Chain A
Amino acid sequence: MSPRWLLAPIMFAALTWRGPVEACSCAPPRAALLSSKEVPLNGQLVLRLPSGWIGSVVVREVFGGPEVPVSVARHPAGRATVAVVRAPSGWKADQRYELVFVDPSGDHPKRILFGSFTAGSNKDETAPKLTAPRAATLHDEVVMKGTSCQSKERWIEVEGQPATDDGEVFYAVWVAPAATKIPTDAAPQWILPWTGDRLALGGRSMCAWLKPDLPSKPGRYQLQVAAVDAAGHRSARHRLSFTVK
C-alpha cells in the first residue's frame, strides 16, 4: 500500500476531529474589596483580584485624587489572588479612597476602578483572639459525576470557633509537611474569610474562586492558622494535622 493511502485515515481524522467535549467553564471571579468598607486609621485592606489581573493596585483619594503609597502582599489562591494592602504612613481620618487596578498591557481599559473605602478616625490597637480549632479535614471528591461538568475537587475544612475581636477578622493559613518547621515570620500562604461555621480552603464547587494549591503527595501534613484583624494584628497560631491518602 502506498504511503499516501496509509496517511488517508489520519488525514480524515485530523480534519474531522472536533477535540474533546468542551468542559464546563466558570466566569472569572470579580475584583472585590473583601474587607470592610470602613477601615481603622492603621487598617489594612483585603482584596480579591482575578488571577488574570497582572498589574498594580493603586489607592487614591476619591474622584481621581492623590495616590497614597501602599505595600501590597499577594497570596495566589487559584482562580483569584488575595491581596493585602497596607499604607505604611496610615490613612487620613474620615477620607474616602478608591481602589484602582492599573493594567500595564496598554489595552483598554488601562485602569479599572473596583471599589472604595473610608478611613475612620480611630486606630485598632487590640489583637484578635482565636481559640484552638478542633480539626482540619482534607476532602477529595469527584463532583458533578456523570455530567460534562464532572471534576475532581480538593479542599480543606477547619472546624472551630471564629476569632473574637472588636472588628473584622480574616485568617492567615500555612500548610506544610508535618515535619517542616514554619518560621514565625513566614508570610501566610493564604488569607481567607470565615465562611459559615468553618474556615474553608476551597470548596466543592468547581467555580469557587478560592482554589488553593493543596499538597497531593500522600503523607501527614500540618495546617497552622492565625486570626488577623483589620489592622493586621495577629492572634497566636494554632497547629492542626491532616492526612493526604
Chain B
Amino acid sequence: MKLSPIPLLLLVACGGEPPPQTPPVVMAPAPSPGEAVVGPPSAPPRAVPKVPRGRSLAVRDDQVCVVHGGALYCRKEPYTSPKPAPAPPLFSLESRLHVPGQVIDVALSRNHGCAVNDEGKVYCWGSNESGERGDGGPEERPFPALVPGVEGAVGVAVSFRHTCAQTASGEVYCWGDNWKGEAGHDTAYTGAAIDLVRPVKVAGVAGIDAIWAADGLSCARSTSHEVRCWGDAIGLGVEGPTPTPVEHLSDATILAFGNQSYWCRTLSEGEPVACRGQQYSAWTGLLPHRDATYPGTEGAVELALGNEHACARTSAGKVICWGKPLGGVLGRVIDPPVTVDPQPIPGIDDAQAIATSDYQTCALGRQALYCWGGSPWRENSDAAINAKLRRTRLPR
C-alpha cells in the first residue's frame, strides 16, 4: 500500500490551517434581507494559502488518527509510558474506525473526534457532554455516528466543547456548547437538554473556504479572504454569536487558534510566525493587540497550536516547536519553563502534515508517522522519554 499522493494536512485539536473548500470556489448565495455576507461578492479571490487539502492527521494527548487510503485509523498514542511497548499496528482492522465512503477530513479534540466523508456527511465519536457530537446520543460513543442535518460538508473543526463544519457551498454549521455564542446562534443548552443539540447554520457568513474552532470561539474565512469570528475573544473584539469581521486576521496566509485565547499567523511567505493573545494565555509576552514574532519560523506552511506551545511545519519538511516544554511536547527537555526560541525537531525532514494537542504533537512524513510528547499528568510520566521521537512506519 502507498500513501495517497494527495498532500496530507494538519489537524490540530483546536485549529491549524483548515482545508480549503473542495471544490475550491463556489459563488456566495444571495443574502437574505438583513443577512450580512462575508466580503464583497465582486472581490476577486486572493491567493489561497499554500496548504494541502483535507486533513489526514489528528492528535490528542492520548490518541492519534490518520487517514490512509480514504480509511480512518486511530490508535492510543503514546502507547505506553514511561517505557514504550510495541504498539499494535496503526493500519489494521483493529484500529480502524468505520466511516462510510472515503474520509476527506478528520479532527480531534480532547473530548471527541469528527470526520467528513466524500459524500459530504459528518461523523463524530467520543463524548457528548456539551452536545459537541451533534447526534443527540448518549454521553459516550466510541464509534463514529452520523451527525444529522449537515449535507455537503467538506471540512470540520473541533474544540473540546463544540464543532463546526463547512460545506461545499460555503456555509458553516455549528453545534455543541454555545454559552459564549461559539455555535453562532442565540440558544444555549443546559445539561438536561444535550440530546436536543443539533447543527445550526450560522447566519452572517457565506462563501467560506476555511473554518477554525477553539475553546469558546469559531472563525471562518471567505474566499475573499475576510475572517469573521463569533463566540468570545476579547482580543479579537468578538463577543457573542454574531460573526464579526476581524481585520488583522484577514491578511494571514496561515492562521491557527489555540484554546487559551491566542492565535498565530504568518502574513506572507518567508516572514516569521506572529502570535497574539490574552495576557493569561499560553506563554508570557503575548498581548491582544500587538504581535509577538518568532524568528526561525520563516518558511512555515502550517501551524499547530497546543494550549501552551506552538509548532510550525516548514516548506522544507521540518517541524519547529516553541513555548512551554511540558510533557516533552517540544521534542526536547529544556530548563526554562518556556522558550521563545523555536527549534526543529531532530530527525524529521519530510513532514507533510502536523497536528498537536496540549501535550503531544505528531507529524506525518512520507514514510513514517512521528509523534513526541505525552501528558505530564499520567502516572510515571517522564518528560525525557516523552520528548523522544516515536516513529511508526507507514505501509507501502
Q: Give the shortest distance, in Å, between B260 (CB) and chain A (any CB).
A: 21
Q: Give the shortest distance, in Å, between A33 (CB) and chain B (any CB).
A: 7
| Contact yes or no, A63 B196, CB < 8 A | yes
| Contact yes or no, A63 B181, CB < 8 A | no
Residue B193, interface by CB 8 Å: yes
Residues 184-202 of chain B, each 1 if its beta carbon lies under 8 Å from chain A, else 0:
0011111111011010000
Residue B240, interface by CB 8 Å: yes
Q: Which of these, B180, B190, B240, contacts A112 with CB under 8 Å?
A: B190
Q: Given contacts A63-B198, A108-B240, is CB(A114)–CB(B193) below 8 Å? A: yes
Q: Which of these, B186, B190, B198, contacts A31 with CB under 8 Å?
A: B190
Among A93-127, those with CB < 8 Å from B are 98-100, 108-116
Q: Which of these, A31, A62, A108, contacts B196 with CB under 8 Å?
A: A62
Residue of B nearest to A103 (CB): B186
Q: Which of these, B181, B196, B241, contacts A113 with CB under 8 Å?
A: B196
Question: How many residues of chain A are within 8 Å of chain B by beta carbon?
Answer: 18
Q: Which of these, B179, B187, B193, B240, contacts A115 with CB under 8 Å?
A: B193
CA distance A109 to B231 in the complex (A): 11
Q: Give the shortest distance, in Å, between A110 (CB) and chain B (any CB).
A: 4
Residue B314, interface by CB 8 Å: no
CA distance A242 to B196 in the complex (A): 46
CA distance A100 to B187 in the complex (A): 9
Residue B375, interface by CB 8 Å: no
Q: Across the interface, which residues of B come within 8 angstroms of A109, CB to CB?
A: 178-179, 181, 186-188, 241
Q: Across the interface, which residues of B come within 8 angstroms of A110, CB to CB?
A: 186-187
Q: Across the interface, which residues of A come within 8 angstroms of B179, CB to CB?
A: 109
Q: Across the interface, which residues of B come within 8 angstroms of A113, CB to CB?
A: 187-190, 193, 196
Residue A30, interface by CB 8 Å: yes
Q: Give the shortest distance, in Å, between B162 (CB) and chain A (any CB).
A: 13
CA distance A113 to B66 in the complex (A): 36
| Contact yes or no, B192 A108, CB < 8 A | no
CA distance A63 to B200 in the complex (A): 10
Q: Across the interface, which residues of B come within 8 angstroms of A33, CB to CB?
A: 192
Q: Give the shortest distance, in Å, between A66 (CB) and chain B (any CB).
A: 16
Residue of B nearest to A31 (CB): B190
Q: Given contacts A108-B240, A109-B178, is CB(A114)–CB(B192) below 8 Å? A: yes
Residue A32, interface by CB 8 Å: yes
| Contact yes or no, B192 A111, CB < 8 A | no
Q: Give the shortest distance, in Å, between B363 (CB) and chain A (any CB).
A: 39
Q: Give the shortest distance, in Å, between A151 (CB) and chain B (any CB).
A: 28
Q: Give the shortest distance, in Å, between A243 (CB) and chain B (any CB).
A: 40
| Contact yes or no, B187 A30, CB < 8 A | no
Q: Given contacts A108-B181, A108-B240, A109-B179, is CB(A116)–CB(B193) below 8 Å? A: yes
Q: Given contacts A63-B198, A108-B241, A109-B179, is CB(A115)–CB(B186) below 8 Å? A: no
Residues 54-70 of chain A, each 1 if its beta carbon lies under 8 Å from chain B, else 0:
00000000110000000
| Contact yes or no, A32 B196, CB < 8 A | no
Residue of B nearest to A112 (CB): B188
The CB with the most chain B CB atoms within 10 A, among A31, A112, A116, is that of: A112
Q: Give the shortest distance, in Å, between A116 (CB) and chain B (any CB).
A: 6
CA distance A98 to B187 in the complex (A): 12
Residue of A nearest to B148 (CB): A63
| Contact yes or no, B188 A111, CB < 8 A | yes
Q: Across the interface, which residues of B come within 8 angstroms of A63, CB to CB?
A: 196, 198
Q: Across the interface, which residues of A come within 8 angstroms of B196, CB to CB?
A: 62-63, 98, 113, 116
CA distance A112 to B186 in the complex (A): 8
CA distance A62 to B179 in the complex (A): 20
Q: Give the shortest distance, in Å, between A105 (CB) and chain B (any CB).
A: 12
| Contact yes or no, A111 B193, CB < 8 A | no
CA distance A148 to B187 in the complex (A): 38
| Contact yes or no, B187 A111, CB < 8 A | yes
CA distance A114 to B188 in the complex (A): 8
Among B155-201, those with CB < 8 Å from A are 178-181, 186-193, 195-196, 198
CA distance A110 to B191 in the complex (A): 17
Residue of A nearest to B197 (CB): A113
Among A27-41, those with CB < 8 Å from B are 30-33
Q: Given contacts A109-B178, A109-B179, is CB(A116)–CB(B195) below 8 Å? A: yes
A-B contact sample (7 more), CB < 8 A, given A33-B192, A100-B187, A110-B187: A30-B190, A62-B196, A63-B198, A108-B180, A108-B188, A113-B187, A113-B188
Chain B residues at the A interface, C-beta cutoff of 8 Å: 178-181, 186-193, 195-196, 198, 240-241
Task: List 9 A–B pairs whose Cβ atoms lie within 8 Å, in order of A's numbering.
Answer: A31-B190, A33-B192, A63-B196, A98-B193, A108-B241, A109-B178, A113-B187, A113-B188, A115-B190
| 4 closest A-B pairs by CB | A109-B188, A111-B187, A110-B186, A114-B190
